[in-house]
Amino acid sequence: MTDRKVRKLEELVRELLLLIGEDPSREGLKETPARVARMWLEELSAGYREDPTTHLKTFTATDAGLRNGVVVVRDIPVRSVCEHHLLPFFGYAHIVYVPNGAILGFSKFARIVDTFAKRLQVQERLTRQVADFLYEGLKPRGLIVLIDAIHTCALVRGVEEPMYLTTMEVRGIFKEDESLRREALALLLQSSTLRLKSIQE
């Protein structure tokens, strides 16, 4: 992050405040442009400057005591900004995979999801990006990535309702074997963060 970018973004925020009818020089807003600039450049858009492959730390499945079976990682926090209205959406990601010789370090799932989430997003693309990255990097026999989130663009404007959106990407044997896919989804439904009664249909 450069000082030039910070200063430029501060100027834009001041202009925004003026355009909506505010006075950026009043006491409560004097430091707002600087705060907003730092927030966007250091946090909300950090994913543009981060390489998710740095978090792809894998272990041999047999060394970890796993020979056959399903790995479920639930309730990974998702915090992103919708590209349509620049308003937040947030929820949880849930990942199921069948290893094919390699497993991913537990904390790395959250870091990978966060890298893709800290960009302007739509939930459907975010789900696909995480699934594509994990399927290519881990090369599992099967993979499911499901994200369940609430969008503040629907909560504070438009219909003004707290609607949840669930998106899912399926890869490998989960796509080919319906019964196995149903078993995996049943495991995910045990998570208290999933709002839908059924995602198996």
Annotation says 136 is catalytic: no
**CA 98/CA 140 separation, integer angstroms:** 6
Tokens at 147, concatenated: 């994200």
Active-site pick, 50, 85, 183, 200: 85
Active-site pick, 84, 124, 136, 178: 84
Q: Give the residues across from 90 on adjacent strands.
A: 79, 150
Active-site pick, 55, 94, 129, 151: 151
Angle at 46 (CA atoms; ends 82, 104), nearest 5 degrees: 95
Active-site pick, 83, 124, 136, 178: 83
**CA 185/CA 120 separation, integer angstroms:** 28
**CA 127/CA 118 separation, integer angstroms:** 13
Annotation says 43 is catalytic: no
- What are the angstrom distances between the C-alpha of 57 and each of 32, 49, 111, 113, 134? 39, 19, 11, 14, 11
Residue 98 in contact with residue 142, Cβ under 8 Å?
yes
Q: Give the residues across from 52 on adjacent strands.
A: none
Active-site pick, 121, 123, 129, 169: 123
Annotation says 55 is catalytic: no
**Pairing state between β 88-98 and 71-82:** antiparallel
Active-site pick, 22, 50, 153, 183: 153
Annotation says 201 is catalytic: no
Annotation says 151 is catalytic: yes
Active site residues: 82-85, 123, 151, 153
